[in-house]
Amino acid sequence: MKRTCQILIALCLPLLFCGQAKAQHSGPYVGAFFGGNALMSAKSTDSQGNFGLTYKPGLQESAVIGWDFEPGNPVGEGRIELEYTHRSNQLDRVKFTDGSFTGGGKVTADSLLVNFFGVFHDKRSWSPYVGVGLGAARMEASDLIVTGEPLASGSNVVFAYQFGTGIDYALTKHWSIDLGYRFFGSLRPEFTESNGKKFKMDYYSHNAVLGLRFGF
């Protein structure tokens, strides 16, 4: 049995890493992505000074529609796409100068970005890529609290961007799997504290995604 498993592994590894290249897709495609995001600790500023916000990791979902460039295109190998993503994170802790306190509520980000990805095609089915996205995001603070007391709420639309890298794996000419990383950031959104004062916070997140794309 052990010998049989070794033979199967030996046969499958070349197919996985050096498999016959699939025909490269060009034209329109759609896709869906799911993953997790880690919102970095945020420096927040109001009229009284600075304080910190930390969040729990959360989930994210994305939908994309785009266009794969034809091989030999003067623009280069790659694709352009429009991406909608929803991210949500629970507030975990609020840090003031006199200590750290339990937080609650959540911050959500709904972003719409135009992404440009350069794809490095080879004779293998695996194709690494890198890219950048630019657009806008609607940030919303939903009933943020600290030690059970209201802290802030509100929404704001701000400029947003991301940097991405990953690997495409061509299942067929039309279907492909995408395993990637995204660093997402924005200008500082502004929310309203319970006392009516305004405060701004940083928004930067690390994101791991797994997606499936279909090309027409």
**CA nearest 137: which of 180, 92, 107, 94?**
107
Instruction: Label residue 5 by pLDDT band (50, 70, 90).
Output: very low
Tally of CB atoms within 10 A around 94: 21
- Give the tens place of pLDDT for each residue, 192-209: 988 888 889 999 999 999
In whole angstroms, give the CA distance from residue 136 to residue 120: 28
Chain centroid, CA 43 distance in Å: 21
Instruction: Report if residue 150 sits inside a domain.
Output: yes
In a domain, 2, yes or no: no
DSSP codes joined into one string, 139-162: EEEEEEEETTEEEEEEEEEEEEEE
- First-to-final CA distance of the chain: 43
4 assigned to some structural domain? no
13 inside domain: no
- Kindly state whether residue 50 falls inside one of the protein's structural domains: yes
Q: How far, in whole angstroms, is CA 107 from its chain's centroid?
A: 15
Task: Return the CATH number at 102.
Answer: 2.40.160.20
Tell me, yes or no, whether 127 lies in a domain: yes
DSSP 15: H
Structural domain span for residue 159: 26-215
Residue-wise pLDDT tens digits, 151-171: 989 999 999 999 999 999 999
Q: Is position 6 within any domain?
A: no
pLDDT digits (tens, 9 = 90+) for 36-80: 999 999 888 877 778 899 999 999 999 999 999 887 776 668 999
Does residue 195 sit within a domain? yes
| Tally of domains in the chain | 1
DSSP 8-state code for residue 17: H
**Cβ neighbour number for residue 138 with a 10 Å cutoff:** 15
* Locus of tokens 């694709």: 79
